Amino acid sequence: MTCCASDCRYRRCRGHGFTVVELLVVLTVMAVLASMAMPLARIAVQREREQELKVALREIRAAIDAYQVSPEQLVFSRAPAPGDVRSRR
């Protein structure tokens, strides 16, 4: 395509790069989208943390219930102390 003086003012004669205004518009749009997404990400992290705490509380409750039903049948993670009554089975 040949370039005449009147066409050089437009984008089609100036190569294939972006103008500064176009780059600024894209950066502004990205900043607005990021500012909208940050609170949503924070809420998602908070919900996940609450869910983990609920699971931990359920496990603690199940352990308490199991202990109340039959404390003799629980499996302990520590080694029994010497002379412990439960170690003489």
CA 19 to chain centre: 36
Chain segment 37-54, per-residue pLDDT in tens: 999 999 999 999 999 999
Does residue 75 have a pLDDT over 80? no
Confidence of residue 35 (pLDDT cuts 50, 70, 90): very high
In the Cβ-directed half-sphere of 63, how many Cα atoms lie within 13 Å?
Answer: 8
Check: CB of residue 25 under 8 Å from CB of residue 31: no
Q: The dihedral of CA 82, 85, 87, 89: what is its sign?
A: positive
Check: CB of residue 66 under 8 Å from CB of residue 74: yes
Q: Which of 24, 25, 28 is nearest to 36 (CA)?
A: 28
Task: Tell me if the pTM is above 0.85.
Answer: no
Confidence of residue 89 (pLDDT cuts 50, 70, 90): very low
The predicted pLDDT at position 36 comes to 93
Q: Cβ contacts of residue 72 below 8 Å, gap of 6+?
A: 86
